A and B are shown apart, each in its own frame.
Chain A
């Protein structure tokens, strides 16, 4: 098998986060896991990843700013010639600390909002954090770093899309990610409470389209990303641009994974950077090779002309919904199990459980 060099490293520095978003992609049992990598360990990972071909590192979590040694970790990323990008919920970061990170070579920051206003955002996050997010976004711009605003969308905030766009414009964001909920981790637990209606999605698409048209007339404004959720689009998402192809995740325990969910699939063996080199973990771990490329595919994917486009969809979704990660993602309308999706998208209940 021909293993490509990855370009992107997703460094999950911690599971800790002061927020309690109901769609958190942390594993359900994350409290039993131990954060295992020191700043020096991360330094070794960055250096080996860079040699393997990685150019970009997303410093993420959980909430990366809960680590008091984030500064040191960032310095290691810069020393390894990686482009450092921070993914934060804005707390417990503060503008003073952000200034220090910028001085150490941080290039780009993604700030997540839960809704367009304080009331909605703080309620969904389960924590007062909206004002702080504004301050971090403003500081990011003032420090001349790239600013991405991210908002995960679901039934309780899809109608605020217009206001979220306005917020991102006011903050001078370079990018706005309007990310429809993917049902993994806590989001799957809360699926019926988060599930949007078709009408909400159609309205939100129209709002985004109108905003893009307005932008191309006036010039400027954040580049907007909005993709219909896989539950409503009859085709799966191309998982991470391919399993073990472009992006490498290192989780807080040190395991190298093709995505942050894959470590939850029992029976897949992934290797740990505490025990082996990054290259070994990427190229040779049995779990990494289990679903690389297209040879593993069953029908309908095997004979499908789209298999190089979506790679058969998400292995984790096939595992969660069908109990077998080797099957075609049921989000695909060609899957014999597609009714798992079409039934679920009609079930709605009120009130989500916050992440515990």
Chain B
């Protein structure tokens, strides 16, 4: 994947394995990603693809029992130096400075993501006091300003309220406000709208896009919804069973995707524009648990084009087929080389 001076985060050959009684669970198995300044990178894939584990490992907040391999290079804006987050001590001072400081994260369920017994203000102040200022009055100003920016009415009152006193949409706005209050260079959003109904979802997405314009924050946006990807991303990584299956810009994803998994995802997506009664095809079967997977393509067991003896012989590499377009599929690879 391209990496230039605009790149601020680069993940190289990331592997995260959990030792379980049933065997070695390869939640993430050789993922490469790169994020450029002011870019939104979408990560899409069915539930269980390893999207959350990948992004949580960037902040090193996965369980200590996990085995982590690979590099996670952050080009720190503060120091101008490259830091390999993968080798920092767990819960040490350095990584804690980055968590919530240079890289913030928002989560799927805002109700569960806030402590129910502390006020919104208390929880937001915590971030600001850790990363922006030690002065309490100034911190409170920053928090209120941040609440205003996400469109909360009455920030002074919200400040003293508890999460259960806010509506679902307001809670997610508060979560975004908390993440942005520290002026992060990177915002990781792990399915931030999945728990919201459609109208709220649209509002929150719009808010995030507006804030991104204003602050220039780079975003990693995780979702299993291609519709959301279309609205949010510049580049997209399609993940399946701990690997990136296809990586491309958002236009190519919708108009020139090559990987059978991506195509299957696209077919299963309801499109608003299509007037004719196009049949939606759900991908057959379920995402298997990544324990003792057979050799070869991860998608083999569910792929309509799968060829025995071709796809399940060797692990498939992620191959560049055009500038900025990478695919992990032997069939596509052959077709392209075959001059089609």
A joins B in a complex: no
User: Interface on A for B, CB 8 Å cutoff?
Assistant: none
